[in-house]
């Protein structure tokens, strides 16, 4: 992956990104948020330039937020702090983070502090990868919840993956989840990619965050595609019903009622993380961003990964897809 | 204007018509809306009408790089594994 990033050109990134964006729209998604690696592997920020080109090329079919994401860390990748600033100045919308990339616990905390400082400076939302391991000693999540309350950033922070909390003892995990609830931090589980990324020691399971407990406690839990055809994930279509189905398996959501929770994680709950102030849904006065889905219920739509003959953005039909199988 | 007839609103089982105005906003949602002249009509036939999906965690900068690696490996080992370059699709 590192060698590929060093070879990025804006045009190469834009071409691949635009194709993946159109894939997502084709399956009925019109609001997207993409991380962009910010690191010394790409000191000219070709990835940012490429995503800005792709954003412009797709502005009529989706809303795309760009996250300045320090994949390789900030303190263990000197120079990244200045690149993060530059990326925000170039037009990134959201401040990302990766505290687990740091080598020392104090650097992980300083990394979170850096992200909040930058978010305040640019009045931006925060979306960090947090504690995406099986290591019970990865504890940036609770620090992030604390910082969210301290800085008054409630509802404007999202934590991605957050698997370490699953391996922490129950009393500690409950304390952290109460903090997350009080801080109104969104948790994005990304179950499909977490199920396949094999970067950990045995046992091979990569883990999944505590979806059911968090939902039951009132935390805004969501899930997303994460990646399409890269070094982390050979698969991925951009179809929310694909990763929603995997999400149901991982969360053991096996009733019509819990399938509805998963549907909400793909729609209204994610909309809240995307823009806490947005008007979303089928209500008079709202933008008509609408999927016509060929299924009688949301759990049936997830089961058969139903066709969407019409996909509308702001009242205009922009796409549609049919899933077909037939006995011959 | 666009009128969507007989949609299952949010998969709740409530069947209604949806009228969308020239600015792309919901104008009316009720049981039986009559299309005025010039209004396009989509017959939903009880299919679900749901808000579009929202996907907040992507890495579009890396998308479709896996096929590029395959191509590079093929070059390195002087072979052709038959994989197409997805980026050219």
3-class secondary-structure state, position A55: helix
Q: Which of B10, B25, B64 lies nearest to residue A228, judging by beta carbons?
A: B64
Give me the torsion for CA of A101, A107, A108, A113, rounded to 10°: -130
3-class secondary-structure state, position B41: strand
Q: Using an 8 Å CB-CB cutoff, list chain B residues near A266.
A: 53-54
pLDDT score recorded for residue A109: 98
Question: In Å, what is the CA distance from A309 to each residue of A143, A153, A167, A183, B35?
Answer: 45, 39, 42, 39, 21
Same domain? For A237 and A146 the reply is yes
> How many helices and strands in chain B, by DSSP H and E?
1, 6
Residue A291 forms part of a structural domain: yes
Tens-digit pLDDT profile for residues A276-290:
999 999 999 999 999
pLDDT score recorded for residue B76: 66
Same domain? For B43 and B6 the reply is yes
Same domain? For A134 and A161 the reply is yes
Q: Using an 8 Å CB-CB cutoff, list chain A residues near B50.
A: 263, 267, 282, 290-291, 293, 298
Same domain? For A234 and A296 the reply is no
Contact B47 A266 (CB under 8 A): no
* Other beta carbons within 10 Å of A236: 24
Percent of chain A exceeding pLDDT 90 equals: 91
pLDDT at A44 exceeding the cut of 60: yes
Residue B27's domain is classified under what CATH number?
2.30.40.10
Compute the Cα dihedral for A96, A97, A98, A100 and give only its sign: negative
Count of domains in chain A? 2
B12–A contact, CB cutoff 8 A? no
Same domain? For A124 and A157 the reply is yes
Residue A272: burial class (beta carbons within 10 Å; 0-12, 13-18, 19+)? buried
pLDDT at B84 exceeding the cut of 90: no
Largest CA distance in chain B: 66
pLDDT at A97 exceeding the cut of 60: yes
Compute the Cα dihedral for B66, A39, A8, B57 and give only its sign: positive
Tens-digit pLDDT profile for residues A195-213:
887 666 676 666 899 999 9
Same domain? For A163 and A293 the reply is no
Question: Alpha-carbon distance A307 to A300, whole Å?
Answer: 11
Reading phi first (left if > 0) and then psi (alpha if -120 to 50, else beta), residue A300 is in alpha
Same domain? For A217 and A87 the reply is yes
Same domain? For A122 and A144 the reply is yes
Place of tokens 């739509």: A301
Count of domains in chain B? 2
Domain hosting residue B22, numbered range = 2-48
Percent of chain A exceeding pLDDT 70 equals: 98
Domain hosting residue A109, numbered range = 29-284
Same domain? For A170 and A318 the reply is no
Q: Using an 8 Å CB-CB cutoff, list chain B residues near A190.
A: 57
Question: Alpha-carbon distance B46 to B59, whole Å?
Answer: 36
Same domain? For A320 and A280 the reply is no
Same domain? For B9 and B40 the reply is yes
* Predicted-complex ipTM score: 0.97
Residue A120's domain is classified under what CATH number?
3.20.20.140
Residue A9 forms part of a structural domain: no
Q: Which of A1, A33, A229 lies nearest to residue B86, judging by beta carbons?
A: A229
Same domain? For A244 and A289 the reply is no
Contact B56 A127 (CB under 8 A): yes
Considering only residues 56 to 75 of chain B, which have any Cβ-Cβ distance to chain A shorter than 8 Å? 56-69
Same domain? For B6 and B27 the reply is yes
CA distance A222 to chain B (A): 9
């Amino acid at each position: 992956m590192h060698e590929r990033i060093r070879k990025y050109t804006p045009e190469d990134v834009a071409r691949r990104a635009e194709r993946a964006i159109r894939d997502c729209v084709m399956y009925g998604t019109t609001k997207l948020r993409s991380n962009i690696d910010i690191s010394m592997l790409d000191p000219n920020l070709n990835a940012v330039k490429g995503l800005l080109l792709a954003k412009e090329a797709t502005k009529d079919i989706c809303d795309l937020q760009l996250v300045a994401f320090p994949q390789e860390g900030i303190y263990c990748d000197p120079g990244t702090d200045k690149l993060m600033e530059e990326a925000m100045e170039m037009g990134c919308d959201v401040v990302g983070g990766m505290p687990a990339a740091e080598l020392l616990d104090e650097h992980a905390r300083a990394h979170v502090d850096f992200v909040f400082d930058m978010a305040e400076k640019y009045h931006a939302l925060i979306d960090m990868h947090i504690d995406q391991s099986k290591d019970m000693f990865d504890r940036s999540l609770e620090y992030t919840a604390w910082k969210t309350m301290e800085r008054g950033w409630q509802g404007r922070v999202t934590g991605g993956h957050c698997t370490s909390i699953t391996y922490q003892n129950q009393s500690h995990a409950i304390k952290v989840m109460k903090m997350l609830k009080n801080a109104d931090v969104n948790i994005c589980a990304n179950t499909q990619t977490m199920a396949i990324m094999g970067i950990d020691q045995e046992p091979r399971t990569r883990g999944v965050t505590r979806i059911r407990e968090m939902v039951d406690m009132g935390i805004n839990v969501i899930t997303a595609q994460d990646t399409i055809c890269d070094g982390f994930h050979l698969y991925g279509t951009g179809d929310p019903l694909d990763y929603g189905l995997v999400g149901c398996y991982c969360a053991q959501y096996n009733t019509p009622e819990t399938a509805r929770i998963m549907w909400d994680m793909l729609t209204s709950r994610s909309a809240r993380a995307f823009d806490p102030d947005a008007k979303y849904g089928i209500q008079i006065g709202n933008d008509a961003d609408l999927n016509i889905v060929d299924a009688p219920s949301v759990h049936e739509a997830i089961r058969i990964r139903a066709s969407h003959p019409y996909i509308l953005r702001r009242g205009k039909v922009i796409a549609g897809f049919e899933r077909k199988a037939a006995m011959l | 204007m666009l009128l969507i007839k007989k949609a299952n609103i949010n998969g709740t089982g409530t069947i209604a018509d949806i009228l969308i105005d020239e600015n792309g906003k919901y104008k009316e949602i009720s049981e039986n809306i009559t299309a005025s002249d010039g209004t396009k009509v989509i017959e939903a036939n009880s299919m679900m009408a749901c808000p579009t999906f929202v996907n907040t965690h992507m890495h579009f900068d890396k998308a479709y790089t896996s096929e590029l690696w395959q191509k590079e490996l093929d070059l390195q080992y002087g072979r052709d594994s038959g994989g197409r370059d997805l980026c050219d699709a």
